[in-house]
Structure 1
Amino acid sequence: MPNRQKLTEKIVRDAIPADGRDYQIFDTEVRGFAACIYRGGGRAFTLDYRYAGRQRRMTFGRWPEWSVTAARQRAKELRREIDAGGDPLAARGALREAPRITDLTERYVEVHLPHLAPVNAADQRSMMKKFIDPAWGNMLVTEVSAYDVEVLLTKIAEGRARPAKKKPNNRARKLQGAKPTPVRANRVGEVIRKMFAYAVKWGWRDDNPAMGFRRRMEIPRERYLSQDEISRLATALDAAQDDRAAGIIRLCMLTGARVGEVRQARFENFNLEHLSWTKPATTTKQRRVHRVPISDEAAAIVRQRRVTVVKGSPWLFPGDVPGQPVQEIRRFWTRIQKEVGIEDVRIHDLRHTFASLLVSGGASLEMIGKLLGHSQMQTTQRYAHLMDSPLRAGVGAVASAFKPKPRLVHNTQQEQAHDGSKPADAPCPQR
């Protein structure tokens, strides 16, 4: 016969553990409610019930964290749920097995990232590792709300102090405070939106909390090299000892290509007879083949590399690792920046300069978009303001036509004084 009595704090506290076994003291007030006395001395509250013909036992609270009164009240709630046809243990198991944010990020990496460019995929992994997992990793996918998304993106937009090290060895960096990063917040928001779109597709939740997230204002970076800076850059590249890195910079400037596209260029991609460069889909940001014309100067670089590069290498700029293209020219570019005096210019700004020179040469936005490989016209629109020069000249012509012509004003008194005659309005002398 089970041990039954009305449970009280004294009964639970004074119960003596049995050697080699656990036992229960059942309550007389709530059916199935009991205090379990463990052989090690611990105590917990349980509820025994039957569901679908199976005997089940649920442990829901430990003593003394839970008082007898609180445990009895919880047992009554569970009993009402059971009488209504529910199974508390099954609900707890489903909650325990429910996907969490870490599960979502892992599956997102597995399903979505393989279809992206390597640089883009690595960047999204970094976002999840630095921002999403630390903030939400242990949360259920269904627990994240639109408010949680807004709080996280606001924190990212505020920025963080650079560098991340607690003890940076550079005094200037120690004094550098947090820099706002609204662009980074928008990119993380896009990743979160895409992740939860997959969660909805997989049936992990019914809605997307990041849909329509508030985008921060982005101020596009606009840095174009002047003619003098271009001339100094060309001179510095001609004098550089590293012909390989100098060739990469020259080709970036002459074609407007991304540095990654130039680094991974192969000899077979160039048709020097027709002066064209066919970029394979594996190297372009838009993940599709991009064919562009090249100038005679760019073709001369390719011919020079054919003479310089070891025979049998497919890469226009082979790297130090056999069978691989050059991986990094950051140190070379830093030296060139200091030498030329363009410390604020990135390699990617050469691409913008290429576009600005096209605009000044009369190229249309559609032509610029095709040469740069933009998949959306919206991306090319950033160069539209450079086309103001011909418009400004036309406005200036109208203003010039409307301006009154200057009139020549004669000073009669000065002219008469010069030739000795008296002014017409001078008074007659007295007789």
Structure 2
Amino acid sequence: MFWRKKPEDAAIAVTMDDFFFQQYLPNTLVTKKRGSEDRLTYSKHIAGPFGKLCLNDITSRKVNDWRNKQIEKGLKNSTINKHIDFLMNIIKLAYVWGYLEDQLHVKIDVRKLPIGNYTQKFLSDTEIRRLLTGCKQSPHPYLYLAIKALLLTGARVGELRNARWSDIDAQKRIWTVPVSKSGRSREIFLSTESLDTLMEVRRKSIRLGTSDLPEGYVFTNPRTRTKYDSFYAAWYKVVRAEGLEDVRIHDLRHTYASILINNEVSIYEVQRLLGHSNVTMTQRYAHLLRGKLHEKTELVSKAIEAPWS
């Protein structure tokens, strides 16, 4: 049991931002050694989706959608779990201090993600065909083209959702990401097939009556007339139907990298194509080179074989 405060001035409909900045943060800056990190985490990951909501309006569905968007962005499971714990702690304190009538931290049903056993998933040719076939059959107007574009470019799903037509230079076959995950602009080099896929998106956008103007989003939701918040719901239905539940959208980026490595593209070229700020991040794919490196050693054997044969 815990003692629950009932402040006389507690607002009936206090927003998450109001509670966090006026109540939670001043307290945590005093009681926690690294309280300033809470402010950064909140501003970066929680304020956007929840800040303007009244505390009572936060639901299981909204929290699960937020978790799923973090999965799409490629955040580590352990990081997402920490964000979930942080959000639940804020909500729990709001209840303890009397700013919530209901124990939302108990009622909200959000599954935390497994950690420790996740390994990078690289889709086989068969899995890619199954996935694309399933996406093509989806009623979602853009899922097939979006997933195909991710496979062909190695782009992050957030980069795809935020892409505007002005970012695509069809003549040079360059897609410019104004601000990437690293905080810097980067270029995505488009193959003929990936450019054709984006042009098919444009043709479909015209048919659906969404904008193909330079300032328009490449993937514009025909219902809301703005960019998609997420492809996760449609994606999950497809991978479940195809028996590919262990595949995450971010695994498409891993698959893109693995195809490059297996076709003898150097680790430094892969780094550039993925937009990694340093080669250390690309080294996670180095194990894929082992078979190729064994093949390369045979070149030396053949070169020096003649003198003593």
Instruction: Identify whether the pair has TM-score above 0.5, normalized to the shorter chain.
Output: yes
The correspondence for 1:388, drawn from 266, 272, 290, is: 290
Name whichever of 308-317 and 364-373 sits farther off.
308-317
The correspondence for 2:86, drawn from 107, 128, 132, is: 128
Q: Would you say the 8 A contact 1:356–1:386 is kept in 2?
A: yes
* Structure having greater relative contact order (Cα 8 Å, sep ≥ 6): 2
Greater radius of gyration (CA): 1
Partner of 2:163: 265
Structure 1 residues 387, 128: CA separation in 2 closer, same or farther (over 3 Å shift)?
A: same
Q: Would you say the 8 A contact 2:28–2:35 is kept in 1?
A: no
**Structure 1 gap segments, 5+ residues each:** 1-96, 136-163, 182-217, 401-431
What SS does structure 2 have at the residue aligned with 1:302? helix
Q: Which structure shows the bigger proportion of residues in helix conformation?
A: 2
- Residues of 2 paired with 1:272 and 1:303: CA distance? 9
Structure 1 residues 270, 393: CA separation in 2 closer, same or farther (over 3 Å shift)?
A: same
Q: Could you state the TM-score of these two structures normalised by the residue count of structure 2?
A: 0.61
Partner of 2:30: 100
For the pair 1:275 / 2:177, whether they are aligned, the reply is no
Shift of 1:166: 7.2
2:182 aligned partner, one-letter code: Q
Shift of 1:116: 11
Q: Would you say the 8 A contact 1:320–1:326 is kept in 2?
A: no
Q: Would you say the 8 A contact 1:305–1:316 is kept in 2?
A: yes
Shift of 1:315: 0.8
The correspondence for 1:308, drawn from 179, 204, 209, is: 204
1:392 aligned partner, one-letter code: H
Written as runs of structure 1 = structure 2, the 5 A alignment for 1:32-431 is 100-101=30-31, 105=35, 109=39, 113=43, 126=84, 128-130=86-88, 181=115, 221-281=119-179, 284-309=180-205, 310-311=210-211, 314-319=216-221, 322-394=224-296
Structure 1 residues 103, 222: CA separation in 2 closer, same or farther (over 3 Å shift)?
A: closer
Structure 1 residues 399, 299: CA separation in 2 closer, same or farther (over 3 Å shift)?
A: closer
Shift of 1:306: 2.0
- Residues of 2 paired with 1:229 and 1:293: CA distance? 25
- Residues of 2 paired with 1:264 and 1:179: CA distance? 26
The CA deviation string for residues 155-195 of structure 1, in whole angstroms up to 9 with x for no partner, is: xxxxxxxxx86797xxxx9xxxx9874xxxxxxxxxxxxxx
The CA deviation string for residues 222-247 of structure 1, in whole angstroms up to 9 with x for no partner, is: 21111111122233333433231221
Q: Would you say the 8 A contact 1:117–1:287 is kept in 2?
A: no
**Structure 2 gap segments, 5+ residues each:** 1-26, 49-69, 94-104, 303-309
The CA deviation string for residues 31-90 of structure 1, in whole angstroms up to 9 with x for no partner, is: xxxxxxxxxxxxxxxxxxxxxxxxxxxxxxxxxxxxxxxxxxxxxxxxxxxxxxxxxxxx
Q: Would you say the 8 A contact 2:46–2:87 is kept in 1?
A: no
- Residues of 2 paired with 1:345 and 1:180: CA distance? 14
Q: Would you say the 8 A contact 1:270–1:277 is kept in 2?
A: yes
Q: Which structure shows the bigger proportion of residues in strand conformation?
A: 1
The CA deviation string for residues 120-169 of structure 1, in whole angstroms up to 9 with x for no partner, is: 9996765534469979xxxxxxxxxxxxxxxxxxxxxxxxxxxx86797x
Give the share of equivalent positions with the same residue, in percent: 28
Q: Would you say the 8 A contact 2:29–2:36 is kept in 1?
A: no
> How well do the aligned residues superpose, as a CA RMSD in angstroms?
4.2
- Residues of 1 paired with 2:268 and 2:46: CA distance? 26
2:283 aligned partner, one-letter code: Q
What SS does structure 2 have at the residue aligned with 1:344? coil
- Residues of 2 paired with 1:111 and 1:335: CA distance? 31
- Residues of 2 paired with 1:391 and 1:363: CA distance? 12
What SS does structure 2 have at the residue aligned with 1:243? coil
User: How many residues of Structure 1 are paired with residues of Structure 2 in the alignment?
Assistant: 231
- Residues of 1 paired with 2:289 and 2:142: CA distance? 35
- Residues of 1 paired with 2:293 and 2:38: CA distance? 48
Q: Would you say the 8 A contact 2:262–2:292 is kept in 1?
A: no
